[in-house]
Structure 1
Amino acid sequence: MSQRITTALLEDTEEEDALRLICQSVLEVAEADTVLIVLPSLGEKYICEIADGEAARDVIGLEFPPEGRAQSVIRSNVGMIVPSMERAHSLRVPQLSRFGPALYAPMSAHGVATGVIIVFRNPGRDEFTQPALQAAEDLAAQATLALRLAAIRHAEDRASLLEERQRIARDLHDLAIQQLFATSLQLGTIKDDLIAGVATPEKITESIDQALAAVGDSVSQIRQIVSGLKESDSPAFNLVDGLWHETSLARRSLGFAPSLVLALNNEVFSKDNSERLDSELVEILDENEIADALAVVREGLTNVARHAHATEVLVEVQIWAESGLVPPGCGHIEPTVPLKSETNGLMWVEITDDGTGLEKTVGRHSGLANMAARASVHFGYMNIENRPDSTRGTKLTWCIPLSV
């Protein structure tokens, strides 16, 4: 019987089902007629939540007052045997007077009882013995374990839900919202040109076409995010095409095309031979690593467009598939979260510009926090600083260990 209950608990049985199984087990082991489980409810009340046996329907929902035997057992964490409920004095729950012998077994964990199992026999039957009370207390301990496991699962489910919400918020911010912001910058430029009288009809038409295309891309991104919520198997991300796409989109907000360098195991790839690179990356990167890297590139380029007033931007994405290939110097920045020692390699994203630098930049804390969060999820790190090799500009570094 105990093995059956333990197996049920290990199989992630629902809380109510586990308690019903325990109730049935107590009914059988104690040779009882009715068994009920009393648990804390709203307003500091104790209610019969689970019951089994002849009078199960009649006792479900009964409230057990503070001065009664049930709460006394819970407070003292000591079991109790009652010779006969029908002859008991000062019975606080009149409905229990129909029963004969009874026993109360506290549901205890770490010396604290959180509920009680009450076992009844019909009038005229033998009283319960100490061994019966001990057996009921053992099963009550398993009932307590069932409640603790249910609480842990609930906490895990809630944590997963919160993590998923944060991921959705990051995706919306780093993908759709940033693209819409870039479009707003572009429309603002059109407005300024119109006010200054320097805009030609051809230039206005071209800029509006680009803005409409960007809005269409944003709608597509939102649809992908929504679709990802509905489907467990979302389509794989393509890092190479995604990076070319992000740098192409950034051209609209920057006013010029950022440079892009892609390298795998110290071999630099151009757009012409990127198809071979993409086929190799399929075996190296997982979908989450690719998605987060693309989001970081978009956020980084948007920050440059919004704050830096730069004339040049370089995006470097380097991947080393084995730890032995990673050159010295790629781990010189102290990570906020220690890199996994068993890592097989690294993905290194660096965005540099020749803009005004950090001292004159108004920080966007949410964007930087999102990039840092995307790094920490992979046990990596993110860093932003003034360029050490120049009097102008910033350098953003985002590095994660590979999971392959």
Structure 2
Amino acid sequence: GVPIRVGEEIFGNLYLAEKEGGADFTEEDLQILRVLATEAGIAIGNARLHEASKQRERWIDGSVAVTTSLLSGSDADEALTVVAEQARHLADARAGFVLLPTEEGGMEVVAASSREDEPRGAMGLVVPADSALVRELLAGRPVLVDDAAGDPRVRTEVGAGFGPSMMLPLVSDDRVLGALVTPRSVGARHFTETERTLATQFATQAALALRMAEAQRDRERLAVLEDRDRIARDLHDLVIQRLFATGMMLETAQRRSDAPAVREKLGKAVDELDVTIQEIRTAIFALQQGPADAPTGLRTRVLREINLAAVPLGFTPAHRFLGPVDTLVGETTGKNLVAALREALSNAFRHSGAGRIEVVVEAGRALPDGTPGVRLTVADDGVGIAPGGRR
């Protein structure tokens, strides 16, 4: 018997027994066996190097795929899902999860990939801040779990179905952006040192790609905001000023005209200019809102309802805002007002046959009992409600 050596490691032993004819093994037999064992060790070492090379190549390709997805401008959730999918595939894991820090100090699962359907229920799962695993990850330290199903640190129901798990922080410039988790099935083999090294490099590359994608999106948002500010300034400094000047000239012509019909038409033109100025001011306000801002302000929510109604109506209703509606109108009142506006616009579309609709939101009105209120007026040029109708 002779050992099979792969480098300094004894991979196994090669034994021969029961030589034909019952003769004893000779020194020559032993030398031949040593040569065979040496050749076997070299072949096994080469196979290992080849496999390690292929494995490293797969991890590099996975990193490239992640970087390409993150920098291609695709949806953030989709890009994070690519990170989870690539990590699961490359680590030969049963699932892959991406977790991001929460405001409360914990970590939330924001992307998941699995061979089965059940880990998808982990989406939105929040690991609390007092978890030992979260503390380690947020400190930038990787965590290896031999058996997630039996580890007391794993305090989620999802973890009960997994075995060996590798949890790696996504760190870039000493900032922990999140964590990457690749668990294997219960009873599966543990992660090797090579796999841990490659996975750590992959996580570092993914974190760098996340930072680059974040910076790219910030630059794009900044460019959009600068463009919107420029348009808003042009509207305010050029268009509105010209409309004001035109309105003043029309008012002057109205006062000097001796024909009542001409004065009436000039008055209507001035009123139309006032409405147009109000609409442009509303557009300027909307331009000054961030493109990614949620429509929480009453003014923005009203504009959204008007734009939604424009599709079935075939035209965009005119609108005006009088007073600081966003500051004077409370949240509950605003919700009721938007609901009433939606119903009024729906009725105008379904019943009135209107060709023009005007929406006016006026803050600072007083209710009959003197309390502050807001008035919504939705006027149209339709047929109205038939006499004797039930509505």
Q: Please classify the TM superposition score into its range, dividing by the shorter chain length.
A: 0.3 to 0.5
The answer to which structure, 1 or 2, has the higher relative contact order (CA under 8 A, 6+ apart) is: 1
TM-score (norm 2): 0.47
TM-score (norm 1): 0.46
